[in-house]
Chains A and B, each alone.
Chain A
Amino acid sequence: MDQTDHPAGGLTSRPFFGPQGSGGPGDKGTGLASWIFSTDHKRIGLLYLGVIGLMFTTALVLGLILRLKLMTPGSTLLTPQQYNAMFTLHGVIMVFMVVIPSIPASFGNIFLPLHIGANDVSFPRLNNFSWWLYVTGMVLAITSIFTGAGAPDTGWTFYVPFSERTTTNVSLAVIAVFILGFSSILTGLNFITTVHRLRTPGMTWRKLSLFVWSLYATGWIQVLATPILGITALLIFAERVLHLGLFDPGRGGDPLLYQHLFWIYSHPAVYIMILPAMGVISEIIPVFARKPIFGYNMIAFSSLAIAFAGSLVWAHHMFTSGMSDTAVLIFSFLTFVVAIPSAIKVFNWLSTLYKGSISLDPPLLYALGFIFMFSIGGLTGLVLGAAGTDIHVHDTYFVVAHFHYVIFGGTGLGMFAAMHYWFPKVFGRMYDHGRAAWAFWLVLLGMNVLYFPMFIMGLQGMPRRYYDYLPQYGSMQMVSTWGSWLLAVGLALMFWNLYRGCRYGPIATRNPWGGATLEWTLPTPLPHEAFEGDPKAPEPYDFKGINPDG
């Protein structure tokens, strides 16, 4: 008998995707309603994964069109208004509908309870409600493109005074952001409560997996910072409808107040995006190096430190806005402080790999890609955090490159790493490893060819969000667009490989990678009720006696 687990209910074939049904009285079947009204954390995680994938593809296509337009100077392909609307939508969809919910809402929902030995999150109905809020926000945001006086054209930051005055459909878009924010708050609240209340006996704080630690820290940012986004979105709406003058200096308001409010949320939001990916990397590296994680305490602590210190650096987005020099000095200093816990993580991951018995499987490839891209993105962040250099590169392509290195190269690759790591456990089948490696190298190469020229153009002074450019930037813009095609091919190969694996791949075993966390003790694909009693809390990074199946 091999170690393959057969699905419950005596079925001879596996479900196309998703957890097994229990076959018992609680089993609600496989119909649409059984999914969209499900309170099962695994199904909700998959629902998020599906919708996030759809939104990612949409915003990716917008990004590819933008790059195609920018390949040559002059007025080509898009009108200036279409261009403005398109980069706004690319940003709004990617930030609020893809990257922020990405790992926590999908893999966090599925694996956080399992990692702590619980059968579900603390508030399953609230979990389902938060998915519905997400879908409502998504529908409203998409509606804002096609209704009113045209798609929003402010950029994803909705800066005043333009966002108050533009005739495009900003009002609906900010309401969508408000609703999406509540979805995020409820997920964070659910995770914090779950970690506090539902840990299996013996699962002490120092036995939590680092993925859970990262989601716990993220949950706090979601709960504490996101309400400020909510109020900021409402204030924009109020300004547009009631003309209060909150941000209008002519009426006693302050336009910089808007920037403060926006970034008090939106900078910590960057850590909502990156921390869960760091958690994924902390899971993958020890498993594929066959070594206990180096510096468990420091990695766990650095998640909390990033969450706290990352909440105090928001005004580094405003160095050239006209705020006080004292604030510039203080926020520049605080920005450098955040680099410390981030570096702690990177050094600990590398130390874990040192003298490890490394197997270069696809999840580890993506994890190594994360470290490479995040390091470039993080270090260029210090160029932006230093007030002097920031004045030179503020609002240039340098910022665009930095952000995409951190968020796409970091969170994006972290998400892909999670997809390749947990794929067999979630879908019950395995993908083709060779094809996954090819896809990885194409994606990594594509990202670098796409974004690295932007660092150079930024240093040379190419402003972001411009419709046209001087001929001197022509060659770099061309190379950057070629990179976008490479990236698109790599992503298409990756998704196709995962789809093929999901449909036709070999049946996955219980523990194909040799992981030590609790989900690998469960059948594949995951059963409806994961644990029949309270499971024994394992040491999450002790691999003694645990070997990959086969």
Chain B
Amino acid sequence: MTDMTDTKNAHEAQHGPLSYRFLALVWAGLMALTALTIAAARVDLGFLNVAAALGIASAKASLVIFFFMHLKYENRLIKGMVLTAFVILAIAIGLTFVDVGYRY
């Protein structure tokens, strides 16, 4: 438990706790992007509808990971690992579209 407290203190000493005001702004950004998702779904953009939905979802996920989950303040190793995970996920989604996008 002491270890955890120490780590937390060291963590906060490094970059300071995130203010409620800042966190509220991120939350507001997430809400705005949710509204944008719904708005974009109402316009018929053809295949671009999917691209728009995935793009907005990625932006939202980035906000959560970088600020709520503190990735922005982690070292390069952790950032690299998270990036690897998302690159693999992006490739998996992309390769699935090789099927869906070209199906008769």
| A binding-site residues for B, Cβ under 8 Å | 196, 220, 223-224, 228, 254, 256, 260, 264, 308, 311-312, 315, 318, 322-327, 330-331
B88–A260 touching, CB < 8 Å: no
Interface residues of B in 56-104 (CB under 8 A from A): 77, 84-85, 88-89, 91-92, 95-96, 98-104
Distance, CA A546 to CA B95, complexed state (A): 50
User: Does the CB pair B95–A330 fall under 8 Å?
Assistant: yes
Nearest B residue (CB) for A254: B100
A323-B103, A326-B102 given as contacts; is B95 within 8 A of A315 (CB)?
yes
The answer to whether B77 touches A260, judged by C-beta atoms less than 8 angstroms apart, is no
Q: Nearest chain-B residue to A324 (Cβ)?
A: B102
Contact A311 B104 (CB under 8 A): no
B88/A330 in contact, CB under 8 A: no
**Residues of B contacting A: mostly:** helix
Determine whether the beta carbon of B92 is less than 8 Å from that of A264.
yes
Could you jot down 22 A-B contacts, CB within 8 Å? A223-B85, A224-B84, A228-B92, A254-B100, A256-B99, A260-B99, A308-B88, A311-B88, A311-B92, A312-B91, A312-B92, A315-B95, A318-B99, A322-B103, A324-B100, A324-B101, A324-B104, A326-B99, A327-B95, A327-B99, A330-B98, A331-B95
Mask: chain B, 10-32; 1 = CB below 8 Å from A; 0 = not: 00000000000000000000000
Interchain CB contact (< 8 A) of A325 among B77, B91, B100, B102: B102
**Apart from the given pairs A224-B84, A308-B88, 8 other A-B contacts in the complex at a CB distance below 8 Å:** A224-B89, A256-B99, A260-B96, A264-B96, A311-B91, A315-B95, A324-B103, A326-B99
**Is the Cβ of B85 less than 8 Å from the Cβ of A224?**
yes
Q: CB < 8 Å: which of A220, A256, A312 contacts B95?
A: A312
Using CB atoms, name the residue of chain A closest to B88.
A224
Q: Kindly list chain B residues whose C-beta atoms are within 8 Å of the C-beta of A323.
A: 99, 103
Also in contact, A315 and B99, with CB within 8 A (given A196-B77, A324-B104)? yes
- Report which residue of B85, B91, B92, B102 has the largest number of chain A beta carbons within 10 angstroms of its beta carbon: B92
Q: For the complex formed, measure the closest distance between the CB of B58 and the CB atoms of chain A, giving whole angstroms.
A: 17
Central interface residue in B84, B91, B102, B104, by most chain A CB within 10 Å: B102
Inside 8 A of A254's CB, which chain B residues have their CB? 100
Q: What residues of B have a CB within 8 angstroms of the CB of A196 in the complex?
A: 77
CA distance A196 to B77 in the complex (A): 10
Alpha-carbon distance A324/B99, docked complex (angstroms): 5
- Cα–Cα, bound, A195→B85 (Å): 18
Q: Roughly how many angstroms separate A330 CA and B89 CA in the complex, as a whole number?
A: 18
Closest Cβ of chain A to B100, distance in Å, is 8
Mark B residues whose CB is within 8 Å of A: 77, 84-85, 88-89, 91-92, 95-96, 98-104
Alpha-carbon distance A180/B16, docked complex (angstroms): 39
Residue contact A324 to B98, C-beta cutoff 8 Å: yes
Q: Compute how far the CA of A428 lies from the CA of B102 in the bound complex, rounded to whole angstroms.
A: 60
A323–B77 Cα distance when bound, in Å, is 38
> How far is it, in angstroms, between the C-alpha of A325 and the C-alpha of B99 when the chains are bound?
8
A308 cross-chain contacts in B, Cβ below 8 A? 88
Using Cβ atoms and an 8 Å threshold, which residues of chain A touch B84?
220, 224
- If A196-B77, A224-B85 touch, whether A326 touches B91 (CB-CB below 8 Å) is no
Residues of A within 8 A of B95 (CB): 312, 315, 327, 330-331
4 A-B pairs closest in CB distance: A324-B102, A327-B99, A326-B102, A323-B99
- Which residue of chain B has its CB nearest to the CB of A265? B92
CA distance A220 to B100 in the complex (A): 27
How far, in angstroms, from A323 to B101 measured CA to CA in the complex? 10
Specify the chain B residue showing the minimal Cβ separation from A311. Answer: B88
Distance, CA A254 to CA B99, complexed state (A): 12
Distance of A10 from chain B, by nearest CB (Å): 35
Q: Which A-chain residue is minimally distant from B95 (CB atoms)?
A: A312
Cβ contacts under 8 Å, B88 to chain A: 224, 308, 311
Q: Which residues of A contact B100 (CB under 8 A)?
A: 254, 324
Distance in angstroms from B3 CB to nearest chain A CB is 13
B residues within 8 A CB of A228? Answer: 92
Closest to A307 in B: B88
- Measured CB to CB, the closest approach of chain B to A451, in angstroms, equals 31
Q: Tell me the minimal C-beta distance from A352 to chain B in angstroms.
A: 31
Compute how far the CA of A311 lies from the CA of B98 in the bound complex, rounded to whole angstroms.
15
Identify the closest chain A residue to B96 (Cβ): A260
Q: Which residue of A lies closest to B103 (CB)?
A: A324
User: Could you tell me the distance between the alpha carbons of A447 and B88 in the complex, rounded to whole angstroms?
Assistant: 36
Residue of A318, A324, A326, A331 with most chain B CB atoms under a 10 A cut-off = A324
Nearest to A196 among chain B residues (CB) is B77
What's the minimum C-beta distance from A249 to chain B, rounded to whole angstroms?
12
**Residues in chain A near residue B104, CB distance under 8 A:** 324
Question: Which residue in chain A gives the minimum CB-CB distance to B101?
Answer: A324
CA distance A224 to B81 in the complex (A): 11
List residues of chain B with CB within 8 A of the CB of A220.
84
Q: What CA separation (Å) do A444 and B95 show in the bound complex?
A: 39
- Which residue of the partner chain B has the closest CB to A308? B88
Tell me, rounded to whole Å, the shortest Cβ–Cβ distance linking A328 to chain B. Answer: 9
In Å, the complex CA distance between A318 and B98 comes to 13
Q: Is the CB of B92 within 8 A of A327?
A: no
* A223 proximity list for chain B (CB < 8 A): 85
Residues of A within 8 A of B77 (CB): 196
- A294 CA / B33 CA spacing, docked (Å): 54
Instruction: State the Cβ distance, B95 to closest chain A Cβ, in Å.
Output: 6
Shortest CB-to-CB span from A274 to chain B, Å, is 19
Residues of B contacting A327 in the complex (Cβ-Cβ under 8 angstroms):
95, 98-99, 102
Instruction: State the CA gap A76–B88 with chains docked (Å).
Output: 48
Inter-subunit contact B85/A326 (CB<8 Å): no
The CA of A331 and the CA of B101, in the complex, are separated in Å by: 15
B1 CB to nearest chain A CB (Å): 13
Given the complex, which residues of B lie within 8 Å of A264, measured CB to CB?
A: 92, 96
Determine the chain B residues whose CB is within 8 A of the CB of A324 once the complex forms: 98-104
Q: Give the distance to chain A from B91, nearest Cβ to Cβ, in Å.
A: 6
Q: How far is the CA of A398 from the CA of B14 in the complex (A)?
A: 59
**Which residues on the A side are within 8 Å of B101 (C-beta)?**
324
Complex-state Cα separation, A322 to B92, whole angstroms: 19
A264→B85 CA distance, assembly (Å): 14
